[in-house]
Structure 1
Amino acid sequence: MEIIIIALVVVIGFGLFRYFRQRAYLKTLTEEQFREGYRKAQLIDVREPQEFKKGHILGARNIPLTQMKHRLVELRKDKPVFLYCQSGSRSARAAQLLRKKGYQDLSQLKGGFKKWTGKIK
């Protein structure tokens, strides 16, 4: 029983550590904040191509999370990167990868594309 409790504490502790570390380098923006800044940034949809084709934020480029490592040359480190996916989990993973590769100004859309009410294509 003690081992289960210790394991649970470790798992919860690690999850909290990752959450707070991520908040230090990834800004989660409301739709209003996202709209204010995405035209001056690199707007990246990290969903898969079939999801992107069904609808995406106007002006977004599709670089799926599954291809991100191989397509980093398409992103500039000196400009902000605004990320979104369907709900927010893939954009957070993409931000983690970008951070490791030296990208500094990273933001994601709170709630992802499913919460977006702005213009879509």
Structure 2
Amino acid sequence: MIEQVRPADWDDWVQAQAARPLVLDVRQPWEVHTASVQPQEFDLLAIPMNEIPARLAELPPGRPIACLCHHGARSQRVALFLQHQGYAAVANIAGGIDAWSRERDPSVPLY
């Protein structure tokens, strides 16, 4: 089962991690350009969903990874894929960038 983290609960999730989290944004480049989160207590890496299998080496297996997309469906699939590849600390940002804007940072544009 993949942990679901609401943007409103993000700070608590980050504090519970043993290492600095990585937010993996799996949206298309045009989406990332349209609206993106600003890394603060986490690092940000954007890899489109369809490129993840070929770019697994870019994802550190020992680090907590929270997957992000527009509404949470693509990121959920990527999180499940990562879990099946042996990544242990994987979460899905429930509601995606849309929920991030509505619950956490209204400066992030809705699209």
TM-score (norm 2): 0.78
Q: Within the alignment, does 1:64 sit opposite 2:52 as a pair?
A: no
- In terms of fraction of residues, the more helix-rich structure is 1
The structure number with the bigger radius of gyration is: 1
**Unmatched 5+ stretches in structure 1:** 1-23
Does the 8 A contact of 2:25 with 2:46 survive in 1? yes
> Residue 96 of structure 1: CA displacement?
1.4
Aligned length: 97
**Unaligned segments of structure 2, at least 5 residues:** none
Q: Distance in 2 between matches of 1:71 and 1:47?
A: 15
1:1-37 deviation per Cα after TM superposition (whole angstroms, max 9, x unaligned):
xxxxxxxxxxxxxxxxxxxxxxx2x110121322441
Tell whether the 8 Å contact from 1:58 to 1:120 is kept in structure 2 after alignment: no
Single out whichever of 33-42 and 47-56 deviates more from structure 2. 33-42
Q: Which residue is equivalent to 1:50?
A: 30
RMSD between aligned residues? 2.1
Sequence identity percentage: 25
- In structure 2, what is the Cα distance between the partners aligned to 1:40 and 1:91? 19
Query: Does residue 84 of structure 2 align to residue 100 of structure 1?
Result: yes
